[in-house]
Amino acid sequence: MTKIATRADINFYTENDVFNTELTRCVTLDEVRNVAGLTVNTTDTDPGKLVRLSDIEQDNIMVIAGDNGRVIKFNLSTLKYKETQLGGISWRAVVASEAGYTLVGYGGYTTFSPDGENWNKPKQMGNKAWLSLARSSSGVYVAVGSDGNVMYGMENWIERDGGRYCTGIIWSTPQTVGGNIWRTVALHGNKGAEKFFAAGDQGYAMESSNGKDWERYTANPQYGSSYQCSFCKITSYPEFTRYSARFGGTNGVLATPISGGEWAVQKFKEGDDWAWIMGITGYEHTALGMYYILLTEKGNLMTSGRILEGGPLNGSGRSLLKHKDRIYALVDHELNRVDFSEADNMSYTSERLLAIDVPDTECLHCMGVRTE
């Protein structure tokens, strides 16, 4: 369960040390609501009710993770952060949802946190590397990794103290689908009938409607690329929600699953070389419409087969995401916020929000934030 917020916790998210006394006493709903700039995600009307950190932070917390057990809780509103070390594990993927934050990484390890700061003790599910993670609209998780490994899980919710809380993910026993490395997984299809699609080395892909039963095939044998990353764009209408997946990889390949093992493929060059795509996200430009933005291993941002002016970023591309109409790019040791011009050339400027002083042999790998 997410811990009750102390006054020291609240001071972390305010600018003027509003609670600079009684630092160990927990704060109430009425006290937090009287602090400018803070809101509480609850319908409770009791002014004396104790407040949880996750109810205050809501959708502003990003979790960033990487090598040597490094896990960072980063507040996008205040730009303040707290760092935790979870063993010496290399964490490779994170999913954020209303339940909390789920991490997977090398050595078969996985962990869960309701607030991005208080983590369950890392647990081994097998001993292979988990490299990517996805969650369905119904709370089903799929993790994929090395040596053909895949597993699925469900959120474990409990009723306590008048509230409902997720305590973690209950995982299945890992299974093997093929012997290749599965590097990335995402959703595709309509809500209630979406499928998990996973992809990896040698152009192999697989799909499943439940995370348990998989059909494996070669998605792009003519290109021979390895998929490195994926992106799931959620489009909502009154009648349904659709999940649209994109997969990026080596040899400049950007692919979209269609049906029956068929994938639509585009290829992008970065100068004279094929791009190595490490991150994908959608971006809706006011004048030009919807674009897919790509982050390359060289730290460039690309769209429509061209490198955008403004980079490269200061490091190798690792991850890219959109949150509340802002684009965030993660490179080796830095988190950057990217702003695009409204001109037709779509140049960009970047602002470094976070820089971590770590050895060159270590880097950040993944980031996740609860999306609207």
Segment 355-364 shows an average pLDDT of 92
Residues 243, 248, 252, 257, CA torsion sign? negative
In a domain, 37, yes or no: no
pLDDT band of residue 239 (cuts 50, 70, 90) is: low
Residues 328, 331, 336, 341, CA torsion sign? negative
* CATH number assigned to the domain comprising residue 324: 2.130.10.10
Q: What 3-state DSSP class applies to 12?
A: helix
pLDDT band of residue 2 (cuts 50, 70, 90) is: low
In a domain, 91, yes or no: yes
pLDDT computed for residue 88 by the predictor:
93
- Whether 228 and 198 have beta carbons less than 8 Å apart is answered as no
Segment 176-197 shows an average pLDDT of 91
Whole-angstrom distance, CA of residue 253 vs CA of residue 291:
16
- Whether 88 and 36 have beta carbons less than 8 Å apart is answered as no
In a domain, 360, yes or no: yes
In a domain, 38, yes or no: no
pLDDT band of residue 135 (cuts 50, 70, 90) is: very high
pLDDT computed for residue 11 by the predictor:
73
**Portion of the chain with pLDDT greater than 90, in percent:** 57
Q: What is the DSSP letter of 30?
A: H
| CB-CB neighbours of 113 under 10 Å | 24
pLDDT computed for residue 37 by the predictor:
65
Residue 372 confidence (pLDDT) above 60: no
Closest CA to 184 of 150, 138, 218: 150
In a domain, 333, yes or no: yes
Whole-angstrom distance, CA of residue 257 vs CA of residue 268:
18
In a domain, 150, yes or no: yes
Residue 222 confidence (pLDDT) above 80: no
pLDDT computed for residue 176 by the predictor:
97
Q: Name which of 6-10, 174-178, 290-294 the model is least confident about.
A: 6-10
pLDDT band of residue 322 (cuts 50, 70, 90) is: very high
How large is the C-alpha radius of gyration of the chain? 21
Whole-angstrom distance, CA of residue 335 vs CA of residue 333:
7
Whole-angstrom distance, CA of residue 114 vs CA of residue 76:
17
Instruction: Count the domains in the chain.
Output: 1
What is the overall mean pLDDT for the chain? 88
CA distances (Å), origin 301, targets 15, 206, 216, 351, 361: 34, 28, 31, 14, 24
Residue 169 β-bridge partners: 155
Segment 308-317 shows an average pLDDT of 94
Residue 14 confidence (pLDDT) above 90: no
Residue 39 confidence (pLDDT) above 90: no
Which domain, by its residues, includes 115?
62-369
Whole-angstrom distance, CA of residue 146 vs CA of residue 28:
47
Segment 252-275 shows an average pLDDT of 88
pLDDT computed for residue 238 by the predictor:
64
pLDDT band of residue 6 (cuts 50, 70, 90) is: confident
Residue 66 confidence (pLDDT) above 70: yes
Phi, psi of 158 (to 5 degrees): -135, 160
Residue 175 confidence (pLDDT) above 80: yes
Give me 137's structure tokens.
């609209």
In a domain, 19, yes or no: no
pLDDT computed for residue 367 by the predictor:
97
Specify the pairing of strand 195-200 against strand 204-208.
Answer: antiparallel
pLDDT band of residue 19 (cuts 50, 70, 90) is: low
The size of the chain, in residues, is: 372
| CB-CB neighbours of 269 under 10 Å | 14
